[in-house]
């Protein structure tokens, strides 16, 4: 596979961007080699500037659920751009998209559009603190909620401890407001709330973890969080930036039948364009300015291009059979890969929920960050590079979820399985 142009482009980009990229995982440091510089995308495929073609399972990290450059979505974006790219004043499209979101997520009685998932989670936590008049939050190790200071934390010296910064530039004082527990370990949350429950404003969780790889919730875990937050007067925040409109039309909260107090959504509601949303119970969201004292603003929030793309995308996702098709296609893919690895006696755990999936090269069940960390990262590198050489683009990290789109065909799924077979035979 030729990559001379991408190598040169990467050399030039490193003069301007830290690591040559505008988001760290793109640098391919977890898997080695040079990242491909993409020139275009269509359906389930990407093409780089060297002319290489890839079957894409990154999917813009989830939002490309219809596939890339869906003609109906690109048409409405083009039309919206001809009318202006940003106004800074309201449009009816904002209300149209909000109605589609609220229809799928009834818990979001009132919402606010923002420009990213990070803005959504940061704002939701501010509202939670304003509503409860408390300062501390609980998050879970391995769950990523954007790069706001108070969320870039890891567990301290023991389980369920006050957080320590995972990034330079985050003060210990800021990190100390965040308590980190282990995902799927309800007893740790119970212990924390027994000690400092009156200080905890909210628990924020990826209801299906996607940022340590795909890790579904254990039976009773989300239900337990819902009960504990009600018992202790805290709010429950579902970060559905990754799972919203992905694991079901109404996200994980529809799938598991749990209504959180606040929900955060990401770029899927804008067809992959920069957008996010946070929302929840009306009494909580009425604290947001200009109705209440919790300030949050954004010049580009409700951008007409993102709104138009979002309306078109969410309208398509209402069509009958959409999620059944995603489920069937993803199961076909993961069952095929699992069978090959099993027959080759390669230790692995393959987690899947809906159209999210991750293969971990470990013989342990993966239920939290500690068990995900037992995976053989060197074997994943070999797997990634072999698939990449065969035109299959997986997330360039052993701890990220992969995604299947409606554009993936049986032929492309079979080609992916065949590439995995070739690697397993050589391994």
Cα 107 to Cα 279: distance, rounded to the nearest angstrom = 8
Catalytic (active site) residue 267: yes
Cα 103 to Cα 315: distance, rounded to the nearest angstrom = 11
Catalytic (active site) residue 239: yes
Give me the catalytic one of 239, 278, 323, 368.
239
User: 231: exposed, middle or buried (C-beta count within 10 Å: 0-12, 13-18, 19+)?
Assistant: exposed
Nearest Cα residue to 224 out of 194, 185, 178, 280: 185
Catalytic (active site) residue 133: no
Cα 110 to Cα 401: distance, rounded to the nearest angstrom = 30
Give me the catalytic one of 48, 57, 139, 144.
144
Give me the catalytic one of 56, 267, 278, 368.
267
Distances in Å between the alpha carbon of 290 and those of 96, 285, 287, 301?
Answer: 21, 11, 8, 15
Cα 346 to Cα 421: distance, rounded to the nearest angstrom = 11
| Cα dihedral 326, 328, 330, 333 in deg (nearest 10) | -150
- Phi, psi angle pair for 50, to nearest 5°: -90, -5
Whether the CB-CB separation of 128 and 202 falls below 8 Å is answered with: yes
Whether the CB-CB separation of 76 and 308 falls below 8 Å is answered with: yes
Between strands 392-393 and 402-403, the pairing is: unpaired
Catalytic annotation, residues: 144, 239, 267
């Amino acid at each position: 596979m030729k990559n001379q142009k991408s190598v040169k482009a990467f050399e030039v980009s490193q003069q301007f961007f830290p690591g040559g990229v505008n988001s760290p995982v793109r640098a391919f440091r977890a898997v080695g080699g040079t990242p491909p510089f993409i020139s275009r995308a269509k359906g389930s495929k990407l093409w780089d500037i060297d002319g290489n073609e890839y079957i894409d399972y990154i999917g813009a990290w989830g939002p490309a659920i219809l596939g890339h450059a869906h003609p109906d979505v690109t048409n409405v974006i083009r039309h919206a751009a001809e009318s202006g790219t940003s106004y800074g004043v309201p449009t009816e499209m904002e209300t149209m998209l909000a109605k589609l979101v609220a229809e799928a997520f009834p818990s979001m009685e009132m919402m606010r559009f923002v420009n990213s998932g990070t803005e959504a989670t940061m704002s939701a936590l501010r509202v939670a603190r304003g509503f409860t008049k408390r300062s501390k939050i609980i998050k879970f190790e391995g769950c990523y909620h954007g790069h706001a200071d108070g969320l870039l934390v890891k567990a301290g010296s023991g389980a369920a401890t006050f957080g320590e910064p995972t990034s330079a530039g985050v003060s210990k004082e800021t990190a100390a407001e965040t308590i980190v527990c282990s995902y799927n370990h309800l007893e740790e949350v119970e212990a924390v709330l027994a000690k400092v429950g009156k200080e905890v404003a909210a628990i924020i969780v990826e209801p299906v973890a996607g940022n340590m790889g795909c890790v579904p919730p254990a039976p009773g875990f989300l239900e337990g969080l819902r009960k504990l937050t009600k018992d202790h007067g805290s709010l429950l925040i579902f970060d559905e930036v990754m799972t919203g409109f992905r694991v079901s039309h109404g996200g994980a909260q529809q799938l598991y039948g749990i209504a959180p107090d606040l929900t955060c959504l990401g770029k899927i509601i804008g067809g992959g364009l920069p957008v996010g949303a946070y929302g929840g119970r009306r009494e909580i969201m009425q604290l947001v300015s200009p109705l209440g004292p919790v300030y949050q603003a954004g010049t580009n929030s409700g951008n007409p291009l993102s709104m138009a793309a979002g309306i078109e995308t969410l309208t398509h996702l209402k069509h009958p059979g959409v999620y059944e098709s995603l489920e069937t296609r993803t199961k076909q893919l993961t069952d095929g890969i699992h069978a090959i690895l099993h027959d080759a006696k390669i230790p692995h755990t393959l987690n899947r929920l809906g159209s999210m999936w991750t293969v971990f090269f470990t013989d342990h069940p993966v239920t939290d960050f500690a068990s995900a960390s037992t995976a053989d990262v060197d074997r994943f590198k070999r797997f990634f590079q072999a698939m990449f050489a065969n035109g299959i683009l997986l997330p360039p990290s052993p701890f990220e979820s992969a995604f299947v789109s409606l554009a993936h065909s049986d032929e492309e799924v079979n080609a992916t399985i065949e590439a995995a077979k070739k690697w397993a035979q050589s391994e």
